[in-house]
Chains A and B, each alone.
Chain A
Amino acid sequence: MHAHARRLLADYGMLAVLLLLGLVFSGLTLEEQSAADASAARRVAARIRAGAPAGGRVLVAVRPTPVDTLLADNLARELPAAGLEVAEVVRGEPQAVRAALERIAAAGGRIDAVAATGRTGSWLVLTEMGELFPALGQPPIVAPDTFLWPNFLKADNLLNIANQIAVIAIMAIGMTMVIVTGGIDLSVGSLAALSAVLATKLIRDAFGGTAASPAGMTAACGLAVAACGAAGLVSGGLITLFGIPPFIVTLAMMLVASGLAYLVAAGQSIYQIPESFVWLGRGTGPFGLPHAVVLMLLLYAAAHVLMSRTTLGRYLYAVGGNREAARLAGVPVRRVLLFAYVACGLLAGLGGVIMASQLKSGSPTYGGMYELYVIAAVVVGGTALAGGEGKILGTLVGALVIAVIQNGMNLTNVESYTQKVVLGLVILAAVLVDRIRHR
C-alpha cells in the first residue's frame, strides 16, 4: 500500500505543481468582485424597494464592461419585477451620467434611487448629486454586494484556459504515444496547418462553400484528418522499414506538410465556409463547457484506457522500454510503431480541424511552433523522452500547467516576451525535477 502511494505521487506529482500554480495565481489575482448575476440584481432591487415608494424611479449607472453590462441587463429585469421604474440606464463614464442627470433635471424628472456598482457608485457626480443638481436631491446609491475572489478562478477564465489548450492537449495525446515508444514527431504543427487548409478548401470547393451542409463539412473534416493519418503512416513506414531516426523523418515531413499546406491554400486564408462551422471550435454545451473541451476530455479518457488497460498500450511501453526484448517476446514491433505515428498524425489533423473551427478559416500559417508546445506538454507531464514510461493523464496535466502559466501571466500583466522566457524556464525546471526523481 505504501509503495503504491509513493508511486502514485511520483506519477502524478505534476498535479501538485498544477494545483500550486493555481493557488499562486489565485492569490495574485485576488480582487474585489462585484456580483452581477440575477440574484444580486434582485437583492439590489429589494433594497431599493424597501426604501422607496412603489413606482419609484431608478437610475442605473454602469460602465461599459461585460460584467457591468450583465448587471445592467439583470437590473433592467429585476427592478420592474420589484415594482420599480427604470428612469434611465447609463452605460458610460461620469460625463455620460452627468449628461443624463442634466436631462432628467431639465425635464423636471425625479430620481428615487440610484442602482450602481461599487466603482460607479463612488463617482462624484453621483455622491454629490444633491449639490450639483439640487432639484434631484440626494437619492440613496445602492450597489450589489462585493466579494473577494481571484480573477483567475472566475468560471469564464477557467473555461478560457481549457478552450485555449484544447488543441495542443489533443495533439499531445498522439505525441505521448510516439514518445513512449522512444520516438518523436516534429511534423504535428505542419500537419495541423495542412488539415485546417484541406478541410476548409474542401468545404469551399467541393462541398458547397458557405452553403455546405453539416454532412458535407463533416466529410471534409474527415478527409483532412485522414490525410494527416496517411502522413503519419508514411513517417512511420520510413522509420520502421528503413530504420531512419524519427527526428529526421518527421523533420522532413514537417517541411513537406507545411509546403503542401501553402500550395493547397495558394498562400491564402480560406474563409468561404458556413457560419455553423464554428460549432466545434466555439460552440458550448451543457454547463457551458466548450465542445472542444468536451472532445478533449473524451479523447483523454479513451487514451488513458488504451494505454493502461489494453494489450496495445502494454506493447507501446514495451517497445519503448526495450525494443529488442519486446521483439523477442513476440510483440509486433513494426505494427505498434506504425500505430503510434498514425495516431499522432490523425490527432494532429483533428487539432487542425478544431483550429479552423475556432478561427472560422484555414490558413497555412496555423500551428506554427505547435510541435514545441505539444512536446513540452508531454515532457512536463512526466513522460521521458527516452521512452518506455509516461502517463497520458500526466500529459493533460502538463498541458494545463503550460496553459495556466500563460493565462496567469496574462492576468498579472506580464509582458509577452517575458512570458516566453518564463515558459522556457518552466519546461526546463519540469525536466530537471523529473531527472532528480529518477535518480
Chain B
Amino acid sequence: MSSAPLLSMRGIEKSFPGVHALRGVDLDLAAGEVLALLGENGAGKSTLMKVLGGAHAADSGDLVLDGRPARFRSPHDARAAGIAVIHQEFSLVPGLTAPENIFLGQESARAGFFPRGEERRRAAELFGRLGVAIDLDAPVSRLTTAQAQATEIARALARDARIIVMDEPTAALTTAETDRLFAIIRDLARRGIAVIHISHRLDEIFALADRVVVLRDGRNVGSRPVAGLGRGELIGMMVGRELAEEYPRRTVAAGGVRLAVQGLRRGRAVRDVSFAVRGGEILALAGLVGAGRTETLRLVFGADRRDAGEIAVDGRPLAIRSPRDAIAAGIGLLTEDRKLEGLVLGRSVLENFSLASLDRLSRAGFIDGRAERTAFDRHAGQLRIRVPHPAERAGNLSGGNQQKVVLARWLERDCEVFLFDEPTRGIDVGARHEIYLLMNELVARGKAVVMASSDLPEVLGMADRILVMHDGRVTGEIINGPGVTQEQVMRLAVA
C-alpha cells in the first residue's frame, strides 16, 4: 500500500433545499483498504457516496484521486475514473444475461454486432476470479441476489474499478453468501482495490473492515482502525451519546393468548405453521431468507389467501380474507419493504400516517383535519420522527423516518397484535434503539408482538420466544434466556 492515499476528499459541502447534508467532510482512502462507512440515517453517508460516484456535484470541496484533482460531472465521469458504486437496489437489466449486463455500455461492437463469444469468455473469467458459480445464459431476473451482486462486482472489475462502494451489500444475503462476499472483498483488497463498505451491521464491520469512518450530522466525527475498537465506543461515535445497552431490557409478565394460529398453509411457502402469542410477549420468527417468515405474517394479515388454517384473536376465530378484515380484528402488519408496500411515496407524511385510521378520524366521510394533525404530532413526538412539515412528501424522508411513519400508522390504529417484518432493516442504530423501546412499551401495555427478523443479535436481544422456520415449516421453538446462542438458532434454521 502506498503512503499517499488513493482518494482524498476534503471539505465536501452539499446542501439541498432545507437540508445541509454535508458540512465539510474529509475522507481518505488508501489503495487495497476496506473502509467501513458508518452513520445514522440522515448523517450524510449516501450523499457523500453520491458525490463520489458523480451523481451529485458538491457545492464546494476537493476530490483528489491518485494525487490529481478530479471533478465528476456525471456518474459516467466517475466510472471512467475507476469508481464503481453498487447500490442496494442493483442497477442491472433483469431481462439481459450476466455477461450482457457486465458489458452494457462498454460493448466493443464491430459494424453493430456484439462479439458475444468474447464477452461470455471474459465474463466467465471474471466470475472465476470471484469464485462464483453462475449460469451465464440465464437472464439476471432468474439469478439469486448473491449472483446478481457478483454480476455487479464483475461489472465494476470489467471497468477496471479501483474503488468500489457497496451499500448494504449483505441485506438480502444468506450467511453462506455473506461469507462468500467477504472473501471476494478481501481478495479485491489484496489486489489493490479499495472498498468502501456501508453497513449497519456492526458484526460485519468488525469482521471485515480495516478502518471505520463515522459520519454524524454531515461531519466526519472520527476515523479509527477497527483493530482495538470497542463496540460501545463505535455506537457512541455514531449517536453522539453512550447507549447504555443496545437492546433495552424489560420485565413484563405475559398475559393471555392474544393471537392463535393453527395449521397455516399456502403452497410450498408456508406448510402447516401453528403458533400462539400472548399479551406482553415478543415472539420472534427466525430463519434464513426464504424460510417462509414473511409469507406467514402475510397470511395472518390476510394479505395473501391461505389454502388452510385458522386464525383467532383473543379467543375469537376469525375469517380473515383481506387486510381490511385483519385490521378490523386489531392486527397490524409492518411490511418488509416500506417503499414498495408500506408507503405511498408521492403523498405527504400526514396522509401516509393516517391512511389506516381515516374511518376513526372522520365524521360522515369528512376528515377532521385538526384531530388528524394532533394525532400525528403525538406520535411524531413519541417516535421522534424528524420532518420539517407533515405535508412533506413521504419519499423525501430518510429510511429510518419512513419506517417510523409506517409504525406510527399502526400505533394510531392501536392494534392488539403487531406483526413486524424486519422492523429495523436499513435503519441506523439510534432509530433502532427507539423502535426497540417502542416494542417494549407495546408489550408492557399487554399487546402481542410477532417479529420476523434476520438479525440474530436482535432476535436474541428482544424476543421472549423464538420460533425458527425452515423451508415453510416450524423447525423448533426456543425459550429465550441468557444461555441461548446464535448457533442454536442457526442449527434449527438450516435443519
- Central interface residue in A314, A315, A322, A325, by most chain B CB within 10 Å: A325
A321-B345, A326-B355, A330-B324 as given contacts; A311 in contact with B391, CB under 8 Å:
no
Q: Which residue of A lies closest to B333 (CB)?
A: A328
**Is A329 within 8 A of B356, CB to CB?**
yes
The answer for the CA separation of A330 and B320 in the assembled complex, in Å, is 12
**Is B340 within 8 A of A311, CB to CB?**
no
Report B341-372 CB contacts with A as 1/0, cut-off 8 Å: 11111110001001110110010011101000
B389 within 8 A of A: yes
Question: Which residues of A lie under 8 Å from residue B322 when comparing CB positions?
Answer: 327
The answer for the CA separation of A325 and B352 in the assembled complex, in Å, is 10
CB distance from B304 to the nearest CB of A (A): 11
CB distance from B22 to the nearest CB of A (A): 22
CB distance from B326 to the nearest CB of A (A): 8
Q: Which residue of B lies closest to A387 (CB)?
A: B346
CB distance from A221 to the nearest CB of B (A): 27
Point out the residue from B323, B365, B389 that lies within 8 Å of A328, measured CB to CB. Answer: B323
A331 within 8 A of B: yes
CB distance from A118 to the nearest CB of B (A): 56
**Is B358 within 8 A of A325, CB to CB?**
no
B327 within 8 A of A: yes
**Is A317 within 8 A of B358, CB to CB?**
no
A310-B366, A318-B351 as given contacts; A328 in contact with B359, CB under 8 Å:
no
B388 within 8 A of A: yes
A3 within 8 A of B: yes
Question: Which residues of A lie under 8 Å from residue B341 when comparing CB positions?
Answer: 322, 324-325, 328
Contacts of B389-412 to chain A: CB distance below 8 A: 389, 391, 409
Q: Which residue of A lies closest to B409 (CB)?
A: A329
B375 within 8 A of A: no
Question: Which residues of A lie under 8 Å from residue B18 when comparing CB positions?
Answer: 3
**Is B324 within 8 A of A318, CB to CB?**
no
**Is A331 within 8 A of B367, CB to CB?**
no
A318-B347, A324-B340 as given contacts; A3 in contact with B389, CB under 8 Å:
yes
**Is B367 within 8 A of A314, CB to CB?**
yes
**Is A314 within 8 A of B358, CB to CB?**
yes
Question: Which residues of B lie under 8 Å from residue A322 when comparing CB positions?
Answer: 340-341, 343-346
Question: Which residues of B lie under 8 Å from residue A388 when comparing CB positions?
Answer: 344, 346-347
**Is B365 within 8 A of A310, CB to CB?**
yes
Interface size counted on chain B using CB atoms at 8 A = 33
The answer for the CA separation of A318 and B391 in the assembled complex, in Å, is 15
Q: Which residue of B lies closest to A319 (CB)?
A: B344
B303 within 8 A of A: yes
Point out the residue from B343, B355, B391 that lies within 8 Å of A7, measured CB to CB. Answer: B391
Report B1-23 CB contacts with A as 1/0, cut-off 8 Å: 00000000000000000100000
Point out the residue from A309, A312, A314, A324 that lies within 8 Å of B355, measured CB to CB. Answer: A314
Point out the residue from B323, B347, B367, B409 that lies within 8 Å of A311, measured CB to CB. Answer: B367
A325-B341, A328-B303 as given contacts; A311 in contact with B358, CB under 8 Å:
yes
Contacts of B42-73 to chain A: CB distance below 8 A: none
The answer for the CA separation of A332 and B342 in the assembled complex, in Å, is 16
**Is B327 within 8 A of A330, CB to CB?**
yes
**Is B342 within 8 A of A325, CB to CB?**
yes
CB distance from A328 to the nearest CB of B (A): 5
Point out the residue from A312, A317, A331, A332 that lies within 8 Å of B347, measured CB to CB. Answer: A317
The answer for the CA separation of A309 and B388 in the assembled complex, in Å, is 23
B335 within 8 A of A: yes
Q: Which residue of B lies closest to A330 (CB)?
A: B327
Point out the residue from B342, B351, B391 that lies within 8 Å of A314, measured CB to CB. Answer: B351
Question: Which residues of B lie under 8 Å from residue A331 when comparing CB positions?
Answer: 355
Q: Which residue of A lies closest to B392 (CB)?
A: A3
A185 within 8 A of B: no
Question: Which residues of B lie under 8 Å from residue A4 when comparing CB positions?
Answer: 391
Question: Which residues of A lie under 8 Å from residue B388 when comparing CB positions?
Answer: 3
The answer for the CA separation of A312 and B389 in the assembled complex, in Å, is 24
A389 within 8 A of B: yes
The answer for the CA separation of A314 and B367 in the assembled complex, in Å, is 9
Report A288-326 CB contacts with B as 1/0, cut-off 8 Å: 000000000000000000000111101101100110111
Question: Which residues of A lie under 8 Å from residue B389 when comparing CB positions?
Answer: 3
The answer for the CA separation of A7 and B391 in the assembled complex, in Å, is 10
CB distance from B389 to the nearest CB of A (A): 6
The answer for the CA separation of A196 and B476 in the assembled complex, in Å, is 69
**Is B355 within 8 A of A389, CB to CB?**
no
Q: Which residue of A lies closest to B358 (CB)?
A: A311
The answer for the CA separation of A327 and B356 in the assembled complex, in Å, is 10
A309-B366, A318-B355 as given contacts; A325 in contact with B340, CB under 8 Å:
yes
Question: Which residues of A lie under 8 Å from residue B355 when comparing CB positions?
Answer: 314, 318, 326, 329-331
- In order of increasing CB-CB distance, the 9 nearest A-B pairs are A321-B344, A311-B358, A330-B327, A322-B344, A329-B355, A329-B356, A388-B346, A310-B365, A321-B346
Q: List 10 A-B contacts (CB under 8 A).
A: A3-B391, A312-B365, A314-B354, A314-B358, A315-B358, A317-B344, A324-B341, A327-B322, A329-B409, A388-B344
Given contacts A321-B346, A326-B344, 11 further A-B contacts (CB under 8 A): A310-B362, A310-B365, A311-B367, A317-B347, A318-B351, A322-B344, A325-B343, A326-B355, A327-B322, A329-B355, A330-B355
